[in-house]
Structure 1
Amino acid sequence: MARRAETIELAVLGLLHEGPMHGYELRKRLNLMLGWGRVLSYGSLYPTLKKMLRADLIEEATGDPAPVTRRPRIVYEVTEAGHREFERLMAEVGPTAWEDDNFGIRFAFFGRTDMEIRLRVLEGRRTRLQERLDRVQTDLARTQKEVDRYAIELQRHGVESVEREVRWLSDLINAERATPAPAPEHTE
């Protein structure tokens, strides 16, 4: 499973590919990407940014002054090493690519990923969820007589959520396979 800091690094690199951003904007965009259940604090973001600065994955630039303090905002930009690290991370197709903590972030940047890699990640995610679904359905059948109706409803909700995501992934995989590969560029 990917460490939270690695997931944040991937997301920061992906966002900075869109253009330079200051810490407040990065945090706001990261919280949108991470979803309602997870909020990224400045206490998590800034140590990650400092680590990425030390690793030369990003660099600081001075932006426009902040409206309240009149101090220049620190704007972060991705470096060439950061571009390479982003490409490397997005090319990974193992379990960390499709686990819950990392999949949504990677999916947000699929537009910059090769189709074969996208397919492998989507198929890995679907397989993992199907295994989870089989396990939960077995547990549900076994425990239905032992738990109250609210616990059963919660389990049923979980099963339906995973079934819905498996269908969604199957639709994405089918759409990827139906999309013709781009024609090779012809240079003369």
Structure 2
Amino acid sequence: MLDLAVLGFLHEAPLHGYELRTRIARLTGHARVISHGTLYPAIKRMERAGLLRRESQPGAAAAPRHMLSLTEDGERALQDVLREPDEPFITDENRWFTLLAFLRHLPDPAAQADVLSRRLAFLEEPSSFFYQGDRPLRAEDVDDPFRRGVLTIARATSRAERAWLADTLTGLRAQQS
């Protein structure tokens, strides 16, 4: 998820590390705070892999700033992740939102539709946070008001997302015609 956010934000514009961290925190911070000890080793790893380049620029004070930008390999890596995201990007809501934030950078509407179709198929599978044996429980099946709340909120969110996915897929398919 962190690599995708780095690639996605740097696709949009070169950034220095602080600004990159701020943008990632705004996107994912409600779920996972991004510390310096997480971000900077990831940046160094991606730089060694040839996905990023670092250029020193004069800072506002005395210290120079290190601006980060994507290399051609970084652009290809972003396109690869967007075109063929690993399963956790489809099934995990926080990773899904990170993927969705950058899916517009995938220029092919058919490829975008493929990704959205995978998410829709996942959402249409019966599931629950709570089970009785192998049977998924619905809000109506649960006496505990707090668990009922979890299930009620999840059902409403899932309905809204499925409706958005259906509308967006219709629009993407119309672009292909």
Q: Same fold (TM over 0.5)?
A: yes
Whole-angstrom CA distance in 2 between matches of 1:82 and 1:44 = 19
1:76 corresponds in structure 2 to 68
Asked whether the equivalents of residues 110 and 172 of structure 2 are also in contact (C-alpha less than 8 Å), the reply is: no
Asked whether the equivalents of residues 93 and 117 of structure 1 are also in contact (C-alpha less than 8 Å), the reply is: no
Structure 2 CA distance for partners of 1:86 and 1:35, relative to 1, 3 Å:
same
5 Å-filtered alignment, 1:146-157, equals 147-157=143-153
Residue type of the partner of 2:37? Answer: G
Asked whether the equivalents of residues 10 and 69 of structure 2 are also in contact (C-alpha less than 8 Å), the reply is: yes
Asked whether the equivalents of residues 110 and 173 of structure 2 are also in contact (C-alpha less than 8 Å), the reply is: no
Whole-angstrom CA distance in 2 between matches of 1:34 and 1:44 = 13
Unaligned runs of 5+ in 1: 1-6, 182-188
Deviant stretches of 4+, over 4 Å: none
Query: Structure 1 residue 26: deviation in Å?
Result: 0.3
Residue type of the partner of 1:106? Answer: L
Structure 2 CA distance for partners of 1:21 and 1:141, relative to 1, 3 Å:
closer
Q: Over residues 39-78 of structure 1, what are the superposed CA-to-partner deviations in whole Å (9 max), with x where a residue is unaligned?
A: 21212111100101111111111123144xx211111111
Which of 79, 94, 104 in structure 2 is aligned with 1:87?
A: 79
Taking only aligned residues, the RMSD between alpha carbons, in angstroms, comes to 2.2
Query: Structure 1 residue 153: deviation in Å?
Result: 2.3
Query: Structure 1 residue 21: deviation in Å?
Result: 0.6
Matched, 1:102 2:100: no
Residue type of the partner of 2:100? Answer: F
Matched, 1:116 2:110: yes
Taking only the aligned residue pairs, the percentage that are identical comes to: 32
Query: Structure 1 residue 129: deviation in Å?
Result: 1.4
Query: Structure 1 residue 17: deviation in Å?
Result: 1.5
1:57 corresponds in structure 2 to 51
Specify the SS of the correspondent of 2:2.
helix
Whole-angstrom CA distance in 2 between matches of 1:14 and 1:57 = 12
Structure 2 CA distance for partners of 1:17 and 1:124, relative to 1, 3 Å:
same
Whole-angstrom CA distance in 1 between matches of 2:95 and 2:105 = 16
Whole-angstrom CA distance in 2 between matches of 1:27 and 1:104 = 17
Residue type of the partner of 1:164? Answer: A
Whole-angstrom CA distance in 2 between matches of 1:96 and 1:151 = 24
Specify the SS of the correspondent of 1:172.
helix
1:3 corresponds in structure 2 to none
Specify the SS of the correspondent of 1:37.
coil
Whole-angstrom CA distance in 2 between matches of 1:90 and 1:103 = 11
